[in-house]
């Protein structure tokens, strides 16, 4: 009987960390012989596989999020799209949009992806990567990229999600053609 509560505790803990379905969590725990860390790794791998499968699906819903710094001198707009309005209304999706808008304001990316940079010469590949939103380390957690956050959200929601466009505004900044 002592095994059941720990199993339930493990299921509950993984559910809170991943929002994966109970069946997926049970399968991952069974495959990992009850090891929570291994089960978490299996769930993440499954989530990444789901994200890859969802990539081509249409994203006609979503949200435009604005971030304005407390002094009113800096702001950002982002458009994040998903497949359904149901997902667009979830707290996780809305938090992701807020976080990306804050990241854009703080880090000032120039491109969405490195391949979006003009020229595309190999010598500037690292610089293009450093200025691409999805490749940048996330401002709140330097150990993860914005792309990693996006993939985790796709795995959690089960829908294709894309950052469509963004713009940063600052008092006194030169106008940009972004957005």
**Which alpha helices (H) appear in the chain, and where do they start and end?**
3-18, 22-31, 36-54, 85-88, 91-107, 125-130, 146-157
Give the residue from 98, 78, 94, 95 showing the smallest Cα distance to 86: 94
Q: Is residue 75 one of the residues assigned to a domain?
A: yes
Contacts of 90 (CB under 8 A, 6+ apart): 157
Q: Is residue 176 one of the residues assigned to a domain?
A: no
Between the two ends of the chain, the Cα-to-Cα distance in Å is 59
Question: Do 50 and 101 reside in the same domain of the chain?
Answer: no
How many domains is the chain built from?
A: 2
Question: Do 68 and 150 reside in the same domain of the chain?
Answer: yes
pTM: 0.69
Q: Which residue do the tokens 């950052």 mark?
A: 163
Does 170 score more than 80 pLDDT? yes
Question: Do 87 and 160 reside in the same domain of the chain?
Answer: yes
Q: Is residue 68 one of the residues assigned to a domain?
A: yes
* Model pLDDT, residue 177: 53
Q: What is the pLDDT of residues 114-147, one digit of tens each?
A: 888 887 555 577 777 888 999 999 999 888 899 9
Q: Which has the higher per-residue pLDDT, 179 or 129?
A: 129
Question: Do 24 and 96 reside in the same domain of the chain?
Answer: no
* Model pLDDT, residue 98: 97
Kindly state the average pLDDT of the residues 3-20.
Answer: 68
* Model pLDDT, residue 52: 66
Instruction: Give residue 114's domain range.
Output: 61-170
Question: Do 132 and 70 reside in the same domain of the chain?
Answer: yes
């Amino acid at each position: 009987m002592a095994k059941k509560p720990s199993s339930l505790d493990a299921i509950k803990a993984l559910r809170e960390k991943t929002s994966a379905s109970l069946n997926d969590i049970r399968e991952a725990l069974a495959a990992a012989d009850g090891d929570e860390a291994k089960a978490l790794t299996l769930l993440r791998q499954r989530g990444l596989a789901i994200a890859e499968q969802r990539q081509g699906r249409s994203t006609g819903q979503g949200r435009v999020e604005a971030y304005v710094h407390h002094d009113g001198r800096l702001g950002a707009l982002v458009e994040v799209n998903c497949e359904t309005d149901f997902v667009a209304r979830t707290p996780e999706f809305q938090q992701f949009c807020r976080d990306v808008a804050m990241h854009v304001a703080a880090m000032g990316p120039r491109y969405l992806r490195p391949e979006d940079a003009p020229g595309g010469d190999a010598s500037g590949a690292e610089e293009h990567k450093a200025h691409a939103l999805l490749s940048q380390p996330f401002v709140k957690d330097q150990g993860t990229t914005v792309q990693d956050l996006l993939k985790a959200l796709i795995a959690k929601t089960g829908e294709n999600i894309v950052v469509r466009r963004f713009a940063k505004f600052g008092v006194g900044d030169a106008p940009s053609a972004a957005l």
